[in-house]
Structures are given as structure tokens and as C-alpha cells.
Structure 1
Amino acid sequence: MKQIRVADKQSPLYADFEQLYRISFPIFEQRTEEQQLLAFSSPFYHLVAYVEDGTFVGFIAYWEFTHYLYIEHFAIHTDLRGKGYGSVVLKALQDSCDKRLLLEIDPVTDDVSAKRLHFYELNGFSANPYPHIHPPYREGFHGHDLVVLTTKGKITQDEYMQFARDLKEIVMCF
């Protein structure tokens, strides 16, 4: 599978990314187009599309910090879900660096959220015990409870607090 960096709106795979992004996340978890374009200007931000045999498979958007990578958004094309592509993408990201991966998921409340947690656990992630509210991306919405997952075991309280600061002071400012 081929990895292609999407660096701006003019990138050939931007439209594929945007279409999958809009259908994969609720509106309150989506950046506006202006916020997305601003994120591209950050040296911390990376958006990588995955293509196999000319077919857009999915994307992963992450922020690279000193000790970890924060996966902000990750989605596999709806027609390709359940076929192992998600695991391949996560493994490729894990193999590309020595840093811990960190992401957030909805709390387990139903079969879908339980399956999502199970998927991440199979891919080396552990749930952390810290209460976590992700700030809203858009006006008119409130922050929402999420569970922080990490590779390389659970994080300490200090590591969680560093992530919370990075999220508030860097990620959400772009």
C-alpha cells in the first residue's frame, strides 16, 4: 500500500480525504474547511492518504509531538472496512517511528463502540483511566467525553496532562 502526504487543498487526494472525513465523523468532531487549511500550516500536523492499486483506501491525520503522535482522525473507506486495512495503516505508522501513539475513542456504550475498542486493543492500544473531554471544533457544540488510548502501555498522569495541554494549546488552535 502506498502512502501519500496530503499537504494542502490542491493535493490530488484532498477531495477523497474530505469526502471520507465528512461521512466518517460527526459534525462536532470535524474541523471546518478553514480549520483544516490552517492545520496544514502547522509543522506538527501530518495528513497521509493510503492508496492501493489506484484505489483510495483511507487516511490518517496526526500531530507529531516530542514523545508521542496524536492521531486526530483516522478512517478507512466504507467499502473496505473489516478487510484488515486499518490494522495495516496503524502498523505502518507504528513502524515508522519509535514514539507512542495516542488517540481518542467514544466510551463503550454499544456494540459498535465495543468493537472499535476491541479493534484498537488488537492493534496494541490500551485504555487510560483519565477523565477526558475533547473540546468542540465548532461553535454551538460542547466538549464530549472520550477515552484516551495509547500504545506502549498506559500513560502517567503527567503524560496525560501534557497531552491535554498540547490538545488545547496547539491542536485546537489550528
Structure 2
Amino acid sequence: MVNLIRITEPTDIRLQKLLSLYEEAFPEEERRNAKQLKRLISEKPEMYFNAIETNGVLSGLFIYWDMRDFYYLEHLAVFTPMRNLKIGQQVLDYIAEHLDGMRLLEVEPTTDEMTTRRVNYYRRNGYEILDKTYMQPSYDEDIEVGNLWIMGNRKSGRLQEFIERIKQVVYRENR
């Protein structure tokens, strides 16, 4: 059974292990530095940094933002020894049940087997590609890192407004 435990203090004993996973799982341009992340954990109530525990064992991390009109799913990672235990699937099932409304996430375009598998994984979990023109901003500078796709659990006439809010709140305001 998967349990999400919100980390609200940068001194939480689980955080150091989770930061190591975060740095291992995401390339530098797709993540914040540890100092930024610790500051956001303390100062930004709209950001949810969650430890994932499976049967009482620390198994991963899940970061999302409550943007009031929608949720932005920023990072999901599972420790290597815990992979293939359907932990990510259980997290997606949990949020489908508990985060009512629109949920958006970024995904790399399908260019190889791994990126194709990832997009298909989200499709199997009720997400669809909503925008293929999205340019991800940098976490540190006013530059665009690269093209990603936006996937979501439903269509919205407000998608471009939501994308601009992600860029503003997640990337620009919280450096």
C-alpha cells in the first residue's frame, strides 16, 4: 500500500535521501537545486513535496502544485530497487481519486522507445497529449530549455492560460 507523506520542513529526516533520488532521476535542466527546493518546501504552501512510502518503506517522491483551477504534476520518481512494483501506478491512482479536476504534466516528445513508453504509460492512466508546442522554461534563468509536451486528464479551453500560470508560478516566481 502506497502512502504519500507531505514534507513541510527542510530538516525532515527523509529529505536527504529524497534529494539524492531527485538529482539521480532528473537531469540538471529539469530540476531545481537543493537550496531552491528546501526554500520552496518551507515557503510555498501550494507546492506539495511528498515522500512516497510503500508498506512503511521510503520508496520515492512526488511533487505537485495546487494551482487552484488545476494541478500541475511536476516530478515523480521511485528508488531503483523499488521499481517495477507498480508504485508509480499506485500514486497515479491515488491522485486520480484525491485530486479532483484538471491535472497537467510535462513529458518528453516521443523520440525513442523510452519516451514512447512513458507517453503510453500516461495514456493508459487517463492522460492525453494536449499541447506539442510547449517550451519548458529553465529553473534558473530566463531561457527555454526545450520542447516538451503537455499531457492532461481532460481538455480545457483554458489550457494556454494554465500553461502560462505554470511558467509564471513554477518556473519564474520560484527560482
1:162 equivalent in alignment to 2:161: yes
User: What does 1:94-133 align with in structure 2 at a 5 Å threshold?
Assistant: 94-133=96-135
Give, in whole Å, the separation in 1 of the partners of 2:110 and 2:156.
20
SS at match of 1:143: strand
1:25 to partner: Cα distance: 0.5
Q: In structure 1, what is the Cα distance between the partners aligned to 2:52 and 2:45?
A: 21
Q: What residue is the counterpart of 1:27 in the other structure?
A: 28
Note closer, same or farther for the CA distance 1:163–1:140 as it changes in structure 2 (3 Å cut): closer
Deviates more, 1:32-41 or 1:60-69: 32-41
CA distance, structure 1, for counterparts of residue 156 and residue 59 of structure 2: 31
Partner in structure 1 of residue 93 of structure 2: 91
Structure 1 runs of 4+ off > 4 angstroms?
139-142
SS at match of 1:108: coil
RMSD: 1.7
Which residue matches 1:145? 147
Q: Give the % identical residues.
A: 25
SS in 2 for 1:19: helix
SS in 1 for 2:148: strand
- Gaps (5+ residues) in structure 2? none
| 1:14 alignment partner AA | L
The answer to whether the 8 A contact 1:101-1:150 is kept is yes
Any conservation in 1 of the 2:19–2:34 contact (CA below 8 Å)? no
Q: Which amino acid aligns with 1:17?
A: L
**Is the partner of 2:21 in helix, strand or coil?**
helix
1:171 aligns with 2:170: yes
Alpha-carbon distance between aligned partners in 2 of 1:99 and 1:38, rounded to the nearest angstrom: 28
In structure 1, the partner of 2:15 is 14
User: Residues 51-89 of structure 1, C-alpha deviation per residue, up to 9 Å, x if partnerless?
Assistant: 123321111101101221101111112222222111100
- When the two structures are superposed, what TM-score results if normalisation uses the length of structure 2? 0.90
* Inter-partner Cα distance in structure 1 for 2:88 and 2:110: 19
Q: Deviations over 1:129-156 (max 9, x none)?
A: 34100101134974211000101x2333
